[in-house]
Amino acid sequence: MKKILGILLSAVLTFGLVACGNNNNTASSSAEEQDTNTTVVSESSETESEVETEEPVSETESTTSTLVVYFSMPETTEPDNMTVEEDNSVVVIDGEVLGNTQYVAYVIQENTGADIFRIEPETPYPTDHDTLVDLAAEEQDENARPAIAGQIENLDQYDTVFIGYPNWWGDMPMILYSFFDNYDFSGKTIIPFNTHGGSGFSNTIRTIAEMEPEATVNEDGFTVSRNNVQEAESDILNWLGELGFTE
Protein backbone atom coordinates (compact mmCIF):
# COMPACT_ATOMS: atom_id res chain seq x y z
CA MET A 1 0.00 0.00 0.00
CA LYS A 2 2.94 2.28 0.37
CA LYS A 3 3.94 4.95 -2.07
CA ILE A 4 0.58 4.90 -3.86
CA LEU A 5 0.98 8.49 -4.99
CA GLY A 6 4.31 7.53 -6.53
CA ILE A 7 2.57 4.70 -8.34
CA LEU A 8 -0.05 7.05 -9.74
CA LEU A 9 2.48 9.68 -10.82
CA SER A 10 4.76 7.15 -12.45
CA ALA A 11 1.80 5.63 -14.30
CA VAL A 12 0.75 9.05 -15.62
CA LEU A 13 4.17 10.51 -16.44
CA THR A 14 6.03 7.44 -17.63
CA PHE A 15 3.67 5.07 -19.30
CA GLY A 16 0.74 6.92 -20.79
CA LEU A 17 -1.72 4.09 -20.23
CA VAL A 18 -3.89 3.80 -17.20
CA ALA A 19 -6.57 1.92 -15.36
CA CYS A 20 -8.81 1.68 -12.32
CA GLY A 21 -9.78 -0.85 -9.59
CA ASN A 22 -10.17 -0.84 -5.72
CA ASN A 23 -11.18 -2.65 -2.46
CA ASN A 24 -12.23 -2.44 1.22
CA ASN A 25 -13.01 -5.04 3.89
CA THR A 26 -16.77 -5.72 3.76
CA ALA A 27 -18.83 -8.83 3.20
CA SER A 28 -21.66 -7.62 0.97
CA SER A 29 -21.85 -7.81 -2.80
CA SER A 30 -19.56 -5.65 -4.93
CA ALA A 31 -19.21 -4.91 -8.60
CA GLU A 32 -15.68 -6.23 -8.65
CA GLU A 33 -16.83 -9.64 -7.43
CA GLN A 34 -19.95 -11.00 -9.04
CA ASP A 35 -18.77 -14.53 -8.52
CA THR A 36 -20.39 -15.02 -5.10
CA ASN A 37 -22.86 -12.13 -5.02
CA THR A 38 -25.24 -10.47 -7.43
CA THR A 39 -23.02 -7.45 -7.69
CA VAL A 40 -20.71 -5.55 -10.00
CA VAL A 41 -18.53 -2.46 -9.76
CA SER A 42 -18.81 0.58 -11.94
CA GLU A 43 -16.98 3.72 -12.84
CA SER A 44 -18.40 6.76 -14.60
CA SER A 45 -17.10 8.28 -17.83
CA GLU A 46 -16.57 11.49 -15.89
CA THR A 47 -14.15 9.68 -13.63
CA GLU A 48 -12.40 8.20 -16.63
CA SER A 49 -11.75 11.59 -18.20
CA GLU A 50 -10.62 13.16 -14.95
CA VAL A 51 -8.23 10.41 -13.94
CA GLU A 52 -6.90 9.02 -17.19
CA THR A 53 -6.16 11.11 -20.24
CA GLU A 54 -2.89 9.64 -21.52
CA GLU A 55 -2.25 8.23 -24.98
CA PRO A 56 -0.99 4.68 -25.61
CA VAL A 57 2.75 4.13 -25.32
CA SER A 58 4.51 4.27 -28.66
CA GLU A 59 7.30 1.90 -29.70
CA THR A 60 9.86 4.67 -29.56
CA GLU A 61 8.87 5.66 -26.03
CA SER A 62 8.91 2.21 -24.42
CA THR A 63 12.04 0.37 -23.31
CA THR A 64 10.40 -2.62 -21.62
CA SER A 65 9.23 -5.96 -22.97
CA THR A 66 6.59 -6.32 -20.23
CA LEU A 67 3.06 -4.93 -20.26
CA VAL A 68 0.38 -4.81 -17.55
CA VAL A 69 -3.19 -4.84 -18.90
CA TYR A 70 -6.19 -4.55 -16.62
CA PHE A 71 -9.91 -3.92 -16.40
CA SER A 72 -11.26 -2.47 -13.15
CA MET A 73 -14.51 -0.73 -12.28
CA PRO A 74 -14.69 0.99 -8.88
CA GLU A 75 -18.12 2.33 -8.07
CA THR A 76 -16.91 5.62 -6.64
CA THR A 77 -13.96 7.97 -6.49
CA GLU A 78 -15.14 9.58 -3.25
CA PRO A 79 -13.43 8.26 -0.11
CA ASP A 80 -16.20 9.31 2.29
CA ASN A 81 -19.76 8.12 2.96
CA MET A 82 -19.54 5.12 0.67
CA THR A 83 -22.30 2.57 0.34
CA VAL A 84 -21.50 -1.05 1.17
CA GLU A 85 -21.21 -1.88 -2.55
CA GLU A 86 -18.87 1.04 -3.19
CA ASP A 87 -16.75 0.10 -0.19
CA ASN A 88 -16.45 -3.47 -1.47
CA SER A 89 -15.06 -2.32 -4.79
CA VAL A 90 -12.30 0.05 -3.73
CA VAL A 91 -9.08 0.56 -1.82
CA VAL A 92 -8.53 3.93 -0.13
CA ILE A 93 -4.91 4.98 0.46
CA ASP A 94 -4.19 8.38 1.99
CA GLY A 95 -7.53 9.65 0.69
CA GLU A 96 -6.94 8.29 -2.83
CA VAL A 97 -9.59 5.89 -4.13
CA LEU A 98 -8.42 3.02 -6.32
CA GLY A 99 -10.30 0.04 -7.69
CA ASN A 100 -9.34 -3.40 -6.42
CA THR A 101 -7.84 -4.64 -9.66
CA GLN A 102 -6.39 -1.23 -10.42
CA TYR A 103 -4.42 -1.30 -7.19
CA VAL A 104 -2.95 -4.73 -7.90
CA ALA A 105 -2.05 -3.61 -11.44
CA TYR A 106 -0.26 -0.53 -10.13
CA VAL A 107 1.79 -2.54 -7.65
CA ILE A 108 2.82 -4.94 -10.44
CA GLN A 109 3.68 -2.09 -12.78
CA GLU A 110 5.74 -0.21 -10.21
CA ASN A 111 7.78 -3.26 -9.26
CA THR A 112 8.41 -4.62 -12.77
CA GLY A 113 8.97 -1.39 -14.69
CA ALA A 114 6.28 -2.52 -17.14
CA ASP A 115 4.12 -0.40 -19.38
CA ILE A 116 0.44 -0.32 -18.44
CA PHE A 117 -2.83 -0.32 -20.40
CA ARG A 118 -6.36 -0.03 -19.09
CA ILE A 119 -9.24 -1.80 -20.81
CA GLU A 120 -12.18 0.61 -21.02
CA PRO A 121 -15.58 0.13 -22.67
CA GLU A 122 -16.39 2.28 -25.68
CA THR A 123 -19.87 2.76 -24.24
CA PRO A 124 -19.41 3.53 -20.52
CA TYR A 125 -21.05 1.13 -18.16
CA PRO A 126 -23.91 2.49 -16.01
CA THR A 127 -22.87 3.83 -12.63
CA ASP A 128 -25.95 2.62 -10.76
CA HIS A 129 -24.98 -0.54 -8.90
CA ASP A 130 -28.08 -2.64 -9.51
CA THR A 131 -28.24 -1.61 -13.18
CA LEU A 132 -24.64 -2.60 -13.69
CA VAL A 133 -25.15 -5.96 -11.99
CA ASP A 134 -28.03 -6.71 -14.33
CA LEU A 135 -26.05 -5.58 -17.37
CA ALA A 136 -23.11 -7.80 -16.47
CA ALA A 137 -25.41 -10.82 -16.21
CA GLU A 138 -27.12 -9.92 -19.47
CA GLU A 139 -23.78 -9.61 -21.29
CA GLN A 140 -22.77 -13.03 -20.01
CA ASP A 141 -26.07 -14.63 -21.01
CA GLU A 142 -25.75 -13.18 -24.51
CA ASN A 143 -22.04 -13.98 -24.84
CA ALA A 144 -21.64 -10.29 -25.65
CA ARG A 145 -18.47 -8.61 -26.88
CA PRO A 146 -18.53 -5.01 -25.60
CA ALA A 147 -16.46 -2.66 -27.75
CA ILE A 148 -13.21 -1.40 -26.25
CA ALA A 149 -12.15 2.25 -26.34
CA GLY A 150 -8.52 2.64 -27.40
CA GLN A 151 -6.03 -0.02 -28.39
CA ILE A 152 -2.53 -1.31 -27.77
CA GLU A 153 -0.63 -0.06 -30.79
CA ASN A 154 2.62 -1.91 -30.15
CA LEU A 155 1.75 -5.32 -28.72
CA ASP A 156 4.48 -7.01 -30.80
CA GLN A 157 7.21 -5.48 -28.63
CA TYR A 158 6.00 -7.20 -25.45
CA ASP A 159 7.10 -10.72 -24.55
CA THR A 160 5.22 -10.90 -21.23
CA VAL A 161 1.76 -9.52 -20.53
CA PHE A 162 0.16 -9.45 -17.07
CA ILE A 163 -3.62 -9.39 -17.51
CA GLY A 164 -5.92 -8.50 -14.60
CA TYR A 165 -9.68 -8.49 -14.10
CA PRO A 166 -12.35 -8.93 -11.42
CA ASN A 167 -14.33 -12.15 -11.17
CA TRP A 168 -17.88 -11.35 -12.32
CA TRP A 169 -20.48 -14.08 -12.01
CA GLY A 170 -17.78 -16.77 -11.86
CA ASP A 171 -16.12 -15.60 -15.06
CA MET A 172 -14.14 -12.79 -16.62
CA PRO A 173 -16.16 -9.68 -17.52
CA MET A 174 -17.26 -10.05 -21.13
CA ILE A 175 -15.10 -7.10 -22.17
CA LEU A 176 -12.11 -9.40 -21.48
CA TYR A 177 -13.46 -11.72 -24.15
CA SER A 178 -13.51 -8.74 -26.51
CA PHE A 179 -9.91 -8.04 -25.58
CA PHE A 180 -8.71 -11.57 -26.31
CA ASP A 181 -10.70 -11.62 -29.57
CA ASN A 182 -8.95 -8.41 -30.65
CA TYR A 183 -5.33 -9.41 -30.01
CA ASP A 184 -3.10 -12.32 -30.98
CA PHE A 185 -0.84 -13.40 -28.12
CA SER A 186 1.00 -16.12 -30.05
CA GLY A 187 4.50 -16.63 -28.69
CA LYS A 188 3.88 -14.44 -25.65
CA THR A 189 3.62 -15.30 -21.96
CA ILE A 190 0.34 -14.31 -20.30
CA ILE A 191 0.31 -13.99 -16.50
CA PRO A 192 -3.23 -13.59 -15.08
CA PHE A 193 -4.19 -11.78 -11.88
CA ASN A 194 -7.62 -11.10 -10.47
CA THR A 195 -9.73 -9.88 -7.56
CA HIS A 196 -12.77 -11.72 -6.31
CA GLY A 197 -15.45 -12.10 -3.66
CA GLY A 198 -14.81 -15.77 -2.87
CA SER A 199 -14.40 -17.71 -6.12
CA GLY A 200 -10.80 -16.91 -7.01
CA PHE A 201 -10.05 -17.42 -10.69
CA SER A 202 -12.94 -19.86 -11.23
CA ASN A 203 -12.11 -21.39 -14.66
CA THR A 204 -10.83 -18.17 -16.20
CA ILE A 205 -7.18 -19.23 -16.60
CA ARG A 206 -8.30 -22.26 -18.60
CA THR A 207 -10.54 -20.00 -20.66
CA ILE A 208 -7.64 -17.68 -21.47
CA ALA A 209 -5.52 -20.66 -22.53
CA GLU A 210 -8.32 -21.84 -24.82
CA MET A 211 -8.70 -18.39 -26.37
CA GLU A 212 -4.95 -17.93 -26.85
CA PRO A 213 -3.71 -21.46 -27.68
CA GLU A 214 -0.39 -20.25 -29.12
CA ALA A 215 0.50 -18.30 -25.96
CA THR A 216 2.08 -19.63 -22.77
CA VAL A 217 -0.47 -18.99 -20.02
CA ASN A 218 1.02 -19.07 -16.54
CA GLU A 219 -1.24 -21.10 -14.27
CA ASP A 220 0.27 -19.59 -11.11
CA GLY A 221 -1.54 -16.29 -11.34
CA PHE A 222 -2.19 -13.96 -8.45
CA THR A 223 -5.69 -13.88 -6.99
CA VAL A 224 -6.86 -11.91 -3.96
CA SER A 225 -10.16 -11.45 -2.15
CA ARG A 226 -11.68 -7.99 -2.15
CA ASN A 227 -11.47 -8.22 1.64
CA ASN A 228 -7.68 -8.49 1.56
CA VAL A 229 -6.59 -6.16 -1.25
CA GLN A 230 -5.75 -3.38 1.19
CA GLU A 231 -3.06 -5.60 2.78
CA ALA A 232 -1.95 -7.47 -0.36
CA GLU A 233 1.19 -5.58 -1.38
CA SER A 234 3.65 -7.94 0.31
CA ASP A 235 1.88 -10.95 -1.20
CA ILE A 236 2.04 -9.37 -4.66
CA LEU A 237 5.77 -8.71 -4.24
CA ASN A 238 6.42 -12.28 -3.05
CA TRP A 239 4.53 -13.61 -6.07
CA LEU A 240 6.50 -11.39 -8.45
CA GLY A 241 9.72 -12.60 -6.84
CA GLU A 242 8.72 -16.23 -7.34
CA LEU A 243 8.12 -15.43 -11.00
CA GLY A 244 11.55 -13.84 -11.27
CA PHE A 245 10.33 -10.28 -11.72
CA THR A 246 12.09 -7.42 -10.00
CA GLU A 247 12.48 -3.83 -11.15
CB 100: neighbour CB atoms within 10 A? 38
CA distances from 114 to 1, 5, 57, 230 (A): 18, 17, 11, 22
State residue 54's pLDDT score. 37
Give the Cα-Cα-Cα angle 213, 68, 54 (nearest 5 degrees): 130
Per-residue confidence in pLDDT tens, the chain, 247 aa: 434 444 443 443 343 443 334 433 333 334 455 543 433 333 333 333 333 333 444 444 567 899 999 999 754 555 566 666 666 676 667 777 688 899 999 999 999 999 999 999 999 987 777 888 889 999 999 999 999 999 998 999 999 999 999 999 999 999 999 999 999 999 999 999 999 989 899 999 999 999 999 999 999 999 999 889 889 999 999 999 999 997 6
State residue 133's pLDDT score. 84
State residue 43's pLDDT score. 37
State residue 13's pLDDT score. 37
pTM comes to: 0.76
Q: Which amino acid is at 5?
A: L
